């Protein structure tokens, strides 16, 4: 009979084997130039579709899909090296040579197949497959944004953009928050991902170790943002679009803030409120510098 430690080692070997197999599926290096895909039955195309269309596939494959030249250039500017550079046939014939020096295998997909791959109404004609960055360790004392169960990918991506703009360097996502590296969040983030420390799957108790003031947002209680002195660094706690910050997380907060809304209560969505709060922090920091 196997001991528990032997069973654990066997499980680890199986996980490593699965990851190697996933990597081999995407190993498309050729010696004669780009790989051309013209059949819907192509195995590599099917694997790519799973990555593009399944919001959690990036966790299973340890790969991330970036669609569009803006996202791809943002990744390159941050030193990210693509594993695959994927083009429509038309796009490759026009601009493929301009991307050739950035590494990664070039994959060319016929224009007719590309529409079944992309999840966009107006598909971008190229994209990258990159390795999923290793999850960083939670950093204490850093300006942080905590996402507590936010569901809308557009809101999450917009908040990441605001965080990058206003000097917040760390994003913590509590379990139940939209997947940070999903295609929709990436598009809404417009490249902000590559300048931030992103950590997913946390519990509220993990936030207590940040060693910065925790500021909960609320639509109806707490100090008014424009009247309160704001600490720096701090962590803004942003809650679910309908339910707000959970009690478990709010109980850890040092402060609670609300935004004055003379036009009516609860008329701001969470992404707009987040931008206002982070700007207030950045402005307070600038005044005290």
Among 29-38, 166-175, 264-273, the range scoring the smallest mean pLDDT is: 29-38
We report the CATH number of the domain holding residue 261 as 3.40.1280.10
Domain of residue 116, residue span: 4-131
List pLDDT tens digits, range 79-109: 999 999 999 999 999 998 888 888 889 999 9
Neighbours of 218 (CB within 10 A): 18
Check pLDDT > 60 for residue 15: no
The number of folded domains in the chain is: 2
Same domain, 182 and 85: no
Same domain, 56 and 82: yes
More confident position, 134 or 103: 134
Whether 139 is in a domain gets the answer no
Over the Cα atoms of the chain, what is R_g? Answer: 22
> Pick from 83, 98, 131: which residue ends a domain?
131
Query: Residue 79 has what DSSP assignment?
Result: T
Whether 59 is in a domain gets the answer yes
Whether 203 is in a domain gets the answer yes
Predicted confidence at residue 24, as pLDDT, reads 42
Same domain, 150 and 53: no
Neighbours of 185 (CB within 10 A): 26
Same domain, 150 and 257: yes
List pLDDT tens digits, range 157-197: 999 999 999 999 999 999 999 999 998 999 999 999 999 99
Question: Phi and psi (nearest 5°) for 270?
Answer: -65, -35
Contacts of 109 (CB under 8 A, 6+ apart): 37, 45, 86, 87, 88, 89, 117
List pLDDT tens digits, range 68-77: 999 999 999 9
Same domain, 126 and 151: no
Predicted confidence at residue 3, as pLDDT, reads 54
**Percent of the chain having pLDDT more than 90?**
72
Same domain, 27 and 80: yes
Summarize the confidence of residues 227-252 as an average pLDDT: 95
Question: Could you tell me if 72 and 82 are in contact, meaning their C-beta atoms sit under 8 angstroms apart?
Answer: yes
Residue 43's SS3 state is helix
Whether 235 is in a domain gets the answer yes
Residue 142's SS3 state is coil
Same domain, 121 and 172: no
Question: Could you tell me if 65 and 53 are in contact, meaning their C-beta atoms sit under 8 angstroms apart?
Answer: no
Residue 235's SS3 state is strand
User: What's the CA angle centered on 222, arms 219 and 224, to 5 degrees?
Assistant: 80
Same domain, 193 and 126: no
33 burial class (0-12, 13-18, 19+ CB within 10 angstroms)?
Answer: exposed
Whether 137 is in a domain gets the answer no
Check pLDDT > 60 for residue 1: no
- What's the CA gap between 274 and 241, in Å, rounded? 12
Question: Could you tell me if 146 and 207 are in contact, meaning their C-beta atoms sit under 8 angstroms apart?
Answer: yes
Contacts of 239 (CB under 8 A, 6+ apart): 148, 149, 150, 216, 217, 245, 246, 249, 270
Same domain, 41 and 127: yes
More confident position, 105 or 31: 105
More confident position, 98 or 155: 155
Confidence of residue 289 (pLDDT cuts 50, 70, 90): confident
Same domain, 148 and 61: no
Whether 262 is in a domain gets the answer yes
Whether 124 is in a domain gets the answer yes
């Amino acid at each position: 009979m196997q001991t528990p430690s032997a069973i654990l080692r066997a499980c680890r070997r199986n996980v490593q084997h699965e990851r190697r197999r996933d990597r081999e599926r995407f190993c498309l290096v050729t010696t004669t130039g780009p790989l051309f895909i013209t059949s819907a039955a192509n195995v590599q195309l099917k694997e790519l579709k799973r990555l593009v269309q399944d919001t959690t596939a990036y966790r299973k494959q340890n790969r991330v899909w970036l669609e569009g030249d803006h996202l791809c250039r943002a990744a390159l500017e941050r030193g990210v090296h693509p594993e695959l550079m994927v083009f429509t046939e038309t796009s490759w014939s026009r601009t493929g040579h301009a991307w050739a020096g950035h590494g990664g295998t070039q994959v060319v997909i016929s224009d007719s197949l590309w529409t079944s791959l992309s999840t966009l109404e107006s598909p971008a004609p190229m994209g990258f497959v990159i390795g999923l960055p290793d999850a960083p360790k939670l950093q204490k004392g850093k300006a942080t944004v905590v996402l507590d169960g936010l569901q809308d990918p557009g809101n999450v991506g917009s908040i990441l953009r605001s965080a990058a703009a206003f000097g917040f360097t760390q994003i913590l996502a509590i379990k139940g928050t939209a997947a940070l590296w999903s295609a929709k969040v990436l598009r809404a983030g417009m490249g902000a991902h590559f300048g931030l420390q992103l950590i997913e799957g946390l519990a509220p108790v993990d936030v207590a170790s940040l060693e910065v003031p925790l500021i909960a947002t609320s639509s109806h209680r707490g100090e008014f943002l424009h009247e309160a002195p704001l600490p720096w660094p701090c962590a803004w706690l942003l809650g679910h679009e309908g339910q707000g910050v959970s009690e478990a997380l709010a109980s850890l907060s040092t402060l609670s803030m609300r935004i004055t809304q003379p036009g009516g209560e609860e008329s701001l969505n969470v992404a707009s409120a987040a931008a206002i709060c982070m700007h207030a922090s950045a402005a307070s920091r600038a005044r005290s510098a």
